[in-house]
Structure formats: structure tokens, C-alpha cells
């Protein structure tokens, strides 16, 4: 089977692991820089030109689309979909997950636990908005931020007002979330493939840092998720329509709270923490997907049964 891995970083850990896993399973894997793809549109014959040559003969693709190039990257994924090439992550699912506000709205409708969140375009409403999410301190996030960038902890209402006004003056869109003190600078990353949690780690921020992102100096360690945490990860992934996802959650007094669902989660941290072949699971899922009809979404009962089946098994099995 011939697979295309859409990635701008052929030497990154995630890309190299996917290529190695594909070759180990007897498949051909080609790394394609999606920003170098030209899309050709004509009646009944959509095509993609890459370095002067048409991209043909692929059975499936694995998108690794960076947040900064979501628009063009998803256009390339959509073009492959139009060419009847299977994708491990649908273009629309990527778009939904990348828009923080839209994704939170979808998760809220699906009944996924999350920190109280507010969004406004009016700086004059800031005090009321902070009160609506539980009062200071609060977390302020840029909607376009990633890897912990554009995330600010405001200790007081006055500080929050100043930060929000500054962002609004820059025409930047932000959301305000309640601060979960009991999480103590740590969160959980559950890695989901085809409706199953295949690995999980606890990410602890460095001393004095409220952000736990590994890119910000956080450390990932193996963790066994509770039944509620697995259920939250699976429900969030299903709600956004993602076949592959990294679900970030906080542990709180009222249960797991989903912060974000990442459609292109990195493999290095999760594989090193769990010592599991996550890349191999992604390749298995992608090749099975390419050889069958698109799997039907799991029903609520099937999701609950999947959680039950995993509840007594350590995530780092």
C-alpha cells in the first residue's frame, strides 16, 4: 500500500516514526510538503501537482498539518478527498479542532466536561465575563495560539482587563477560561486512534510554570487514566470527528475537563512516556481505513463498551 505523509518537517521525530512504522509493516511511505502542492481544479478531474509531477497512486494519506498553515493544509487534504484517497484525519475535522472557539462550542453541545469559558468582542464587558467564569485568576488564550504560546495567566481582574484590552487593540481574538488551581500546573494527554485510547501521559510544567506543554519545558510521564478520563477523551474525539487525536485534559474536583483536542499530536513525548508503538497503531488504522468503507461513528453504547473494555488495562500496556 502506498501512503503519503503530509508534513513540512521530514526530519521530525513524528514524521520519521510514521515512515519507519509504515515500512516495517510492508508499505511504501512518501513524505510530501503540503505547502509545495499545487491544486488543479477542473470538471470531474481534481488533481495535485508536486514538484512538477501529478500525485497519483496513493491509497491513503496521514495529514500532519501545522496550526500556522491550517487553511492551505486542509485545502490539500480536501483535494485528496476529492480524488477518492482515504485520509486518517478528515479535512473538516482538522478545521473544527483548530478553531478553539468552535471546538469548545461543539464539545459543550456534546456534553464534554470543560473549564468555564467566555468569549466577547467588547472590552467593557470584561469584569462581568471574568465573574461568569468564576472570578480571578483566569486564563486568557489567543484563539490562534498553539504549543502554549498566546496563553496568559491573569492573577487579578485589573490584570485581566489590561491583557484583554491589549489583545483587542491588536485585533486578536481571545477566550477567557477559569483557572483550575487543583491541577497544579499539570494536565493529561490521551492519545486516541480509531476510537481507542492507545497511550496516555501526565505532563507536568516546570517549576513556576502554569503551562504543561512539553515545548515549554514540561515533562511527560506514564499514567493510567480513570474510566471517566477515558470516556471524556473518546467523547471529545468523537464529537469533533477525529480518527486520530491528542486530547488534553485537566484533573479537577468535578472530574476531567477537556482543554483542547489536537488533530496532529506529536509522537515523541507520548511514545517515550508510554514506551508504546503509537506510530504503528496509526499506520495500522490508516491502512485498514484505506481498504474498507469509512467506519460508521460509534454509538453512545459502543463508546461506553469501549471504555469498559479498557478500564482495567494500564494505558501503557
Q: What is the pLDDT of residue 239?
A: 97
Average pLDDT score over the chain? 87
Domains plus CATH for the chain?
2-97 (3.40.50.20), 116-179 (3.30.1490.20), 182-310 (3.30.470.20)
Mean pLDDT of 126-134: 86
Q: What is the pLDDT of residue 136?
A: 86
Q: What would the pLDDT profile of 60-83 be if each residue is shown by its tens digit?
A: 999 999 988 999 999 999 999 999
Q: What is the pLDDT of residue 148?
A: 55
Does residue 313 surpass a pLDDT of 60? no
- pTM to 2 decimals? 0.84
All cell numbers assigned to 56: 497519483
Contact predicate 244/192, CB 8 Å: yes
Q: What is the pLDDT of residue 217?
A: 52
Comparing 5-9, 52-56, 208-212, 237-241, the range with the smallest average pLDDT is: 208-212
Length of the chain equals 317
Does residue 5 surpass a pLDDT of 80? yes
For a pLDDT cut of 90, what percent of the chain falls above it?
Answer: 62
Q: Could you tell me which residue, 301 or 50, shows the higher pLDDT?
A: 50
All cell numbers assigned to 135: 472570578
Comparing 205-214, 244-253, 269-278, the range with the smallest average pLDDT is: 205-214
Give backbone dihedrals phi and psi of 219, rounded to 5 degrees, phi first.
-120, 135
Q: Give long-range contacts, CB 8 A cutoff, 24+ apart: 149-157.
A: 151/211, 153/179, 153/210, 157/126, 157/127, 157/130
Mean pLDDT of 164-187: 86
Q: What is the pLDDT of residue 298?
A: 54
Q: What would the pLDDT profile of 180-227 be if each residue is shown by its tens digit?
A: 988 888 899 999 999 999 999 998 866 655 555 555 556 779 999 999
Q: What is the pLDDT of residue 206?
A: 62
3-state DSSP of 169-221: HCCCCEEEEECCHHHCCEEEEEEEECCEEEEEEEEECCCCCCCCCHHHCCEEE
Ramachandran region, residue 240 (left: φ > 0; alpha: ψ -120 to 50; beta: rest): alpha
Give the C-alpha separation, 80 to 65, whole Å. Answer: 14
Nearest to residue 193, comparing CAs of 243, 241, 231? 243
Amino acid at each position: 500500500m502506498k501512503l503519503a505523509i503530509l508534513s513540512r518537517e521530514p526530519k521530525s521525530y513524528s514524521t520519521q516514526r510514521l515512515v519507519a512504522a509504515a515500512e516495517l509493516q510492508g508499505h511504501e511511505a512518501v513524505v510530501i510538503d503540503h505547502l509545495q502542492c499545487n491544486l488543479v481544479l477542473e470538471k470531474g478531474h481534481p488533481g495535485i501537482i508536486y514538484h512538477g509531477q501529478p500525485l497519483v497512486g496513493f491509497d491513503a494519506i496521514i495529514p500532519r498539518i501545522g496550526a500556522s498553515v491550517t487553511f492551505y493544509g486542509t485545502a490539500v487534504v480536501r483535494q485528496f478527498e476529492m480524488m477518492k484517497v482515504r485520509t486518517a484525519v478528515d479535512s473538516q475535522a482538522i478545521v473544527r479542532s483548530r478553531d478553539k472557539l468552535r471546538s469548545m462550542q461543539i464539545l459543550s453541545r456534546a456534553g464534554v466536561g470543560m473549564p468555564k469559558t467566555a468569549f466577547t468582542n467588547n472590552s467593557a464587558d470584561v469584569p462581568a465575563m471574568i465573574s461568569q467564569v468564576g472570578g480571578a485568576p483566569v486564563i486568557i488564550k489567543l484563539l490562534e495560539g498553539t504549543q502554549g504560546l498566546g496563553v496568559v495567566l491573569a492573577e487579578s481582574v485589573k490584570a485581566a482587563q489590561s491583557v484583554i484590552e491589549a489583545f483587542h487593540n491588536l485585533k486578536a481574538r481571545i477566550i477567557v477560561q477559569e483557572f483550575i488551581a487543583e491541577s497544579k500546573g499539570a494536565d493529561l494527554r490521551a492519545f486516541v486512534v480509531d476510537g481507542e485510547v492507545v497511550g496516555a501521559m501526565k505532563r507536568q510544567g516546570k517549576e513556576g510554570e502554569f503551562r504543561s506543554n512539553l515545548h515549554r519545558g514540561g515533562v511527560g510521564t506514564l499514567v493510567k487514566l480513570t474510566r471517566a478520563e477515558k470516556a471524556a477523551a473518546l467523547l471529545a474525539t468523537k464529537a469533533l470527528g477525529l480518527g486520530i487525536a491528542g486530547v488534553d485534559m485537566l484533573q479537577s474536583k468535578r472530574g476531567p475537563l477537556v482543554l483542547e483536542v489536537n488533530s496532529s499530536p506529536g509522537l515523541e513525548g507520548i511514545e517515550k512516556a508510554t514506551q508504546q508503538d503509537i506510530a504503528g497503531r496509526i499506520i495500522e488504522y490508516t491502512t485498514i481505513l484505506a481498504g474498507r468503507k469509512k467506519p460508521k461513528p460509534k454509538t453512545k453504547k459502543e463508546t461506553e463498551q469501549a471504555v469498559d473494555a479498557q478500564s482495567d488495562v494500564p494505558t501503557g500496556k
